Amino acid sequence: MYVQQIYTTCLAQAAYYIESEGEAAIIDPLRDIDEYVKLAKSRKSKIKYIFETHFHADFVSGHIDLAKKNGAQIVFGPTAQTDFKSHLATDGEEFSIGKIKIKLLHTPGHTPESSSFLLLDENGKQHCVFTGDTLFVGDVGRPDLLDGVMSKETLAGMLFDSLRNKIMTLESEVIVYPAHGAGSACGKNIGKETFSTIGEQKKRNYALQEMSKEKFIAKVTDEIPPAPAYFFKDATLNKKGYKPIDEILSKGVKALSVNDFETEMKNGATIIDTRIADVFENGFVPKSLNFGLNGQYAIWAATVIDISQPIVIVAETGKEKESIERLTRVGFENIHGFLDGSFNAWQNANKRFDMVISVDDEEFELDAKHTEIKILDVRKPTEFKEAHLTKAKSFPLDTLNKDFENLNPDDEYLIYCGGGYRSMTAVSFLKSKGFQRVKNVYGGFAKIKTLKLPFTHNKKIVEAN
């Protein structure tokens, strides 16, 4: 028996490869399936099943392409309905992979069809459970993604029953392999570990502690941040089907001359610049949006931009395909190519370019103390609530694409996040909307909190020393 977690940090997502006696299964594959195909080939195994824990909302799964390429059977839990060929398993149904078995446990709550997959080893002993978005390390899946179809309270009640009747009854030493880790928007506060055990989660996970069903529903539904708009589009793609990734890449991984790139811009294409912030700020094509490959690139791109928009890419030379491939994971399908020669080609053609002014912590401290400049904190509301500069206004990057209309483009703004990644995205977005007096803050709140300025911690003001 062989089990491998394949973790993709930029999406905070885990897929799984399971193998026994030359037969293999993949759980929750990403859209770019080559890694799974190569892994199975290198281990001289054939992929027999593709198990989907639910209709994913935060990424496009590779189940359809993988099934077409390998002839594997796609398996969903009860109540799932797909527009493609799949097997809807019954609760408790078992699937053989070599000498081991995978048992489907229907665990609705995150979504109605959500299921967990229990691995029974060669001796029939419970070894691990793949919990999808039902159970995370330190958290559980959000129950609010079926607005208008089923209330979050109803789903939370189903989740309560699933956890107590299916998950918590498993043996304490059973390994818990969830679909996501820290940084995913599929939970409120997922722990940084990517696996755990049933026993450990029963001790430490707030949702598995003894409480009434009513209290559980209140806890799980309290202060859930709004779901990014792309979640609902990705869930539909996973349910109904999508373009083959090879088709998107053949169109998207295309070098564009400066003139062709300009034509795409004039035709309304959105420019995504995937270079790191420190490089981007020194020069970029006007109206470009910066989502550096060094962070949660695809997640933020899909959160800020409508995934149906036509896209063109500016990337570090050699990073063009990666930039496009990672966008496809979250549902971008309308990618028209990349700037051949990167930003240097634009400069060499003597085209007009833009820049970002960034300030260090000392300059920020002077501005914050002695000017009326407006300060925007683009971290998540939970981060802001925990601690923030008292003078700052919460303006999360998650909703900036709508909320920016409440800002005055003639005002001057200093923008900070946690460490500098999100603030550069926010600055580039505002500049693309005509805001010219915006500055990025180097180092973000990690630096700012060391300054002698008034801060608010959990709603209590702490004055500067």
User: CATH number, domain at 331?
Assistant: 3.40.250.10
Same domain, 407 and 373: yes
Phi, psi of 136 (to 5 degrees): -110, 175
Residue 118 in any domain: the answer is yes
Handedness of CA 213, 215, 220, 221 (dihedral sign): positive
Task: Give the count of domains, the chain.
Answer: 3
Question: What's this model's pTM, rounded to 2 decimal places?
Answer: 0.92
Query: Looking at the structure, do residues 12 and 30 belong to the same domain, yes or no?
Result: yes
Q: Are 245 and 65 in contact (CB under 8 A)?
A: yes
Question: What is the domain extent for residue 140?
Answer: 2-232
pLDDT of res. 463: 52
User: CA 334 → CA 87, 300, 324, 329, 345, distances in Å?
Assistant: 30, 17, 10, 13, 23
3-class secondary-structure state, position 157: helix
Q: Choose one of 329, 348, 367: the last residue of a domain.
A: 348
Same domain assignment for residues 167 and 52: yes
**Tokens standing for 143?**
């129950």
Domain-located, residue 311: yes
- Which has the closest alpha carbon to 402: 307, 298, 304? 304
- The answer to the question of residue 285 being in a domain is yes
Listed residue (77, 66, 49) closest to 242, CA to CA:
66
Q: Where are the beta strands (DSSP E) in 311-405?
A: 311-314, 335-339, 357-359, 374-377, 387-389, 393-394
Q: Can you give the CATH number for the domain in which 36 is found?
A: 3.60.15.10
- pLDDT tens string 250-292: 999 999 999 999 999 999 999 999 999 999 999 999 999 999 9
Same domain, 62 and 168: yes
Q: Which of 184, 213, 232 is the last residue of a domain?
A: 232
Same domain? 34 vs 182: yes
Distance CA 334, CA 323 (A): 14
* 131 and 46 both lie in a single domain: yes
pLDDT at 146: 85
Residues 35 and 14 in one domain: yes
Q: Which helix (DSSP H) or strand (DSSP E) does residue 37 occupy?
A: helix 34-42
Residues 6+ positions from 65 with CB-CB distance below 8 Å: 31, 33, 244, 245, 246
Rounded to whole angstroms, how far apart are CA atoms 405 and 427? 14
Residues 89 and 58 in one domain: yes
Flag whether 237 is in a domain: no
The answer to the question of residue 413 being in a domain is yes
Sheet with 73-76, side-by-side order of all strands: 2-8, 13-20, 23-27, 46-51, 73-76, 87-88
What pLDDT is recorded for position 225?
84
In the prediction, which pLDDT does 216 show? Answer: 98
Phi/psi at 105 (5° precision): -115, 115
- Shared domain for 203 and 256, answered yes or no, is no
Residues ≥6 apart with Cβ < 8 Å to 301:
272, 289, 291, 327, 330, 332
Residue 238 resides in a domain: no
136 and 274: one domain? no
**261 & 123 share domain:** no
- My answer on whether 192 and 173 are in the same domain is yes
Q: Which among 348, 381, 396 is the end of a domain?
A: 348
Q: What is the mean pLDDT of each run of 10 residues along the chain (465 residues)?
A: 96 97 98 96 98 97 96 96 96 98 98 98 98 98 87 97 98 98 91 97 97 97 89 95 94 97 98 98 98 95 96 98 97 97 98 96 93 95 93 95 95 96 98 96 94 84 48
